[in-house]
Every structure is written in structure tokens, then in C-alpha cells.
Structure 1
Amino acid sequence: MPDLSHVENWVFDLDNTLYGAEQQLFPQIDARMTAFIRDRLAMDHDGARRLQKDYYVAYGTTMSGLMDLHDICPDEFLEFVHDIDIAHLKENHGLNEALTALPGRKFIFTNGSVKHAENVAGALGVLHQFDEIFDIKAAGYAPKPKREPYEKFLSSHHIDPCSAVMFEDIVQNLEAPHALGMTTVLVLSDAAWLDDEPHDKRPARRGDTAAHVHHVTDDLTAFLNVASKAQAIAS
């Protein structure tokens, strides 16, 4: 049973964390990023996709590279790439119950937009569980895995990092929170499209871990249920 009795602030990434990668939402976002670059920079599809992934690896997000090198408006980019179909995403009653049982504050911390987080969390039936959504705009467009957005998040919400746990699907994105003193949980996925992502930047799969990862789970709801039970026993 994971000992999270010290946790007062529960921080969740959004995509491929609050929902599983098998839901196929991120491949839609990925395809729209390629289309945005293709159309805006007048490139062919293959060239646009290569550039997209190159910027993702070098800058943390494709958008950061486009902002830095092509003066792309971030809000326009976010609005375009998050225009996806989430009709198949169903309410997750188990996750909702698990979140309800957690003591303390709950946050979504995403490299996406507030609007996208609200749409997805709303479809999952868990939006009401969160005290706030900290998105890429709130971070000053500095993306995870950079340290700066984590520091800004903790400072703006007056959070002692030792009282917080971060749930993430990308191993690299847990390095900074670990260094800052947060407990880290890696959420694993299992979907065929993961093979197409850059190795160091793809959502984690079974067997993935690192020294800066405290806990690993392939079932977020079950992990939260166990964690809340452990907290109840400890108290």
C-alpha cells in the first residue's frame, strides 16, 4: 500500500493520465498539430510531422518551438489542435469516487489549455473534483518538463512540495517535481500508437520507471483507492 499519508495536494496531468492512452484522444491532437504546421508553414505532411516531433523533443512542446522560431500565436495553436472529437469518452464513475475519497486539494496541471482540460474532465465526469486547472498559459507558456512551471505552480498555490504528489504519464516530466520534493507517480499506458512517439517523450508503458519515480501504476483509479485507504489507516 503506497504511503501517501503526508499528501495534502494531489496534482494530475491530463492527457493519458486522467484517461488511458487507449482512448485515442492524443493521436487526434497529434494529427491536428501536424496539419497546423503543414498549412501554416506551407510544408508537405511528412516534413511537417518531422518538424513537429523535432520541436517536441527540443522544446518540451511543439508549440514552444513554433512560438520561438515562427512567431506562432499560442492561443490560436491551442484552439486548433484541441478541436477534437471526445464523444466516445465516457463518465468514469470509479475515478470520480476515488477522487472524492482523497483528502486535501486536487489540481490538473497540463501542457494543454484550460478549455481542453475542462472538456475532457467534464466528459469524464470529474471536473467538479478539481480546485483549479493550471495550464500552459498560466505557466507563462513554459512547458513541462522544465522546472519553471512546477515552481510557478507550487508558488501560486502556496504548496509545500513535500505535501504534494504528482501523477504523470511521461517519465521525464517527473524529474523536476521529484527534485523539488514532490512525491511522484508514473501512470502507465498500453496503446499501439505509443510506438510512433519519440522514446524519451512518449507516455510510459509497462516496465518503464526511473530513479526519480516513487510509485508506478497502470490503474489510476485502483491506485487512488489504495492510497486513500492507506491514509485512513494512518490517521
Structure 2
Amino acid sequence: MSGAPDLSAFVGVEAWIFDLDNTLYPAESRLFAQIDDRIGAYVGRLLAVSAEEARVVQKDYYRRYGTTLRGLMIEHGISPDEFLSYVHDIDHSPLSPAPQLAAALARLPGKRFIMTNGSRGHAHAVAAKLGIGDHFEDVFDIVDADHVPKPEAAAYETFWRRHGIVPPKAAMFEDLARNLAVPHAHGMRTVLVVPTGTREVFREAWELEDHDAPHVGHVTDDLAGFLDRVADSLGAPR
């Protein structure tokens, strides 16, 4: 993105929290597209409907409940373990090492976490392929959140309690604006990660809403570069 944003708000941040899918890796890798396809296949098999009908249900649940999984649990009482195992059984080979991101993460003062609506195993696989796994204190997944997903307040509150995080001393990085509303309301710095040239291809129309909302503190199309600029503003060594 153009311009030089004021990064002084990041002074005093002690916990850096990152969403996983389409945030820590580029959306054009189409990694999440594999998960999306497997979710649709799961819904179609469960409900014995066509692929087209399954996708309508899938996206309706995703929008209304935060994840398709949550909708299936509430509406159909499914086993979350079976679902998570199935939808994350994907090929991670499209991802490549991200040394610039790894170096930028290493410069951030304090602790770093991954908070995802996906599974811990998937998060570890992604981090390993990117070469950034050693830079995180922990992964907080949908199981840790008792299957309550972002953007629900309870998911964040469970995460904060588990890791002793003080929201006004934390920053949240997300690819969905709606998932930044609760963090912002609790005093966290918020950053929306939206790679240019990919949004229209990979996103539902509603997912593009609220990019200019008050709860979005910063927007970047280059996570590694943005983190480097934050680290520079904090005087972190290279």
C-alpha cells in the first residue's frame, strides 16, 4: 500500500497475534482453496446434495456462524474431529519458504502467536513449509477455542486467558475485517492483510466489506514488509 502509516501505536506491544490462512501465506497459493473444496465435499456427502447445493449451505454457515464447522455442529450435530481431519488433509507443497517473513517476525519484541479457526496440525504444517514455526510461542486453534470461532468474542477471551494476554498490549493481524472488531474493541492494534490483485478472485463479496471501518487500524498488502517497518519504528535490530 502507498504512503507511510503512523506506526507509533505499536509501541508497547508485547503480544503479536496472527491469523493463519491467507494471512501468513499469500492467497494466490490457493492453499485455502483446497480446504474450501474439501469443506464443500464434506457438506455434500453429509447432506446428500449436489455440489452446487452444498456450496450454498457451506457459505451460508460460514457467514452466519463464523465457520462452516460451527454451523454443521449447531444444525446437524456433527463430530468436529472428523470434519477437521478431513478438510485439512491437503497438499501443502504450493507453499514456499518465506525468509523475509521469518526475519521480520524474529525482529518483533515480545511473544508471537498463531490464532486460527483451523486445526493445530494444519497450522504447524503451514508454518513448517514457510520456515517460520520457530518464531511462534504457540498455536491456538479451533479446538482450543472449544470450537467457537472468530469473530465470536468468546474465542478471543479464551485465547487471552490461556496466554495471559493483555489486549491493550497486543496486536492482531487478519485477512478478514470482521475478525478485527472484537480485538479493536478491547484496545488491540489491528492490521488487515489484503494482498492486492487477489481479493476479487479468492473472496466472497461480503468478505471485502469494512476495510475502511474504524476497527481496522492498518491495511497492508505486504505482511513481511509491514512487520519490518514496525520493527524499524520500534528500533529493533536487524
Structures share a fold, TM > 0.5? Answer: yes
Equivalent position to 2:218, from 202, 215, 219:
215
Equivalent position to 1:83, from 76, 89, 92:
89
Kindly indicate whether the alpha-carbon contact (under 8 Å) linking 1:186 and 1:209 is maintained by their aligned counterparts in 2: no
Kindly indicate whether the alpha-carbon contact (under 8 Å) linking 1:14 and 1:108 is maintained by their aligned counterparts in 2: yes
Q: Does 1:119 align with 2:119?
A: no
Q: Partner of 2:3 in structure 1?
A: none
Aligned residue for 1:37, secondary structure, equals: helix
C-alpha deviation, 1:198, in angstroms = 3.3
Letter in 2 for 1:39: R
Change (3 A) 1:44 1:191: farther
Q: Partner of 2:7 in structure 1?
A: 2
C-alpha deviation, 1:133, in angstroms = 0.3
C-alpha deviation, 1:195, in angstroms = 4.5
Aligned residue for 1:139, secondary structure, equals: coil
Q: Does 1:168 align with 2:174?
A: yes
Q: Does 1:230 align with 2:236?
A: no
1: CA distance between counterparts of 2:206 and 2:14? 30
Q: Does 1:42 align with 2:48?
A: yes
Q: Does 1:61 align with 2:67?
A: yes
Aligned residue for 2:42, secondary structure, equals: helix
Unaligned runs of 5+ in 1: none
The TM-score, its normalising length taken from structure 1, stands at 0.93
Kindly indicate whether the alpha-carbon contact (under 8 Å) linking 2:27 and 2:198 is maintained by their aligned counterparts in 1: no
Kindly indicate whether the alpha-carbon contact (under 8 Å) linking 1:21 and 1:190 is maintained by their aligned counterparts in 2: no
After alignment, is 109-118 or 189-198 more displaced?
Answer: 189-198
C-alpha deviation, 1:196, in angstroms = 6.2
Q: Partner of 2:193 in structure 1?
A: 187
Percent identity at matched positions?
47
Letter in 1 for 2:139: I
Kindly indicate whether the alpha-carbon contact (under 8 Å) linking 2:195 and 2:220 is maintained by their aligned counterparts in 1: no
C-alpha deviation, 1:41, in angstroms = 1.5
Q: Partner of 1:17 in structure 2?
A: 23
1: CA distance between counterparts of 2:147 and 2:205? 23
The TM-score, its normalising length taken from structure 2, stands at 0.92
Letter in 2 for 1:167: F
Equivalent position to 1:137, from 132, 136, 143:
143
Change (3 A) 1:33 1:193: farther
> Which 4+ runs in 1 deviate beyond 2 A?
189-202
Cα deviations by residue, 1:36-83 (Å, 9 ceiling, x for unpaired)? 111122111111010001111111100001011111111111111111
Kindly indicate whether the alpha-carbon contact (under 8 Å) linking 1:27 and 1:193 is maintained by their aligned counterparts in 2: no
C-alpha deviation, 1:190, in angstroms = 3.6
C-alpha deviation, 1:194, in angstroms = 4.4
Letter in 2 for 1:110: T
Unaligned runs of 5+ in 2: 1-5
C-alpha deviation, 1:106, in angstroms = 0.3
C-alpha deviation, 1:191, in angstroms = 5.2
Name the Cα RMSD after superposition: 1.6
Kindly indicate whether the alpha-carbon contact (under 8 Å) linking 2:31 and 2:94 is maintained by their aligned counterparts in 1: no
In the alignment of these two chains, the number of paired residues is 230
2: CA distance between counterparts of 1:193 and 1:18? 15
2: CA distance between counterparts of 1:10 and 1:30? 27
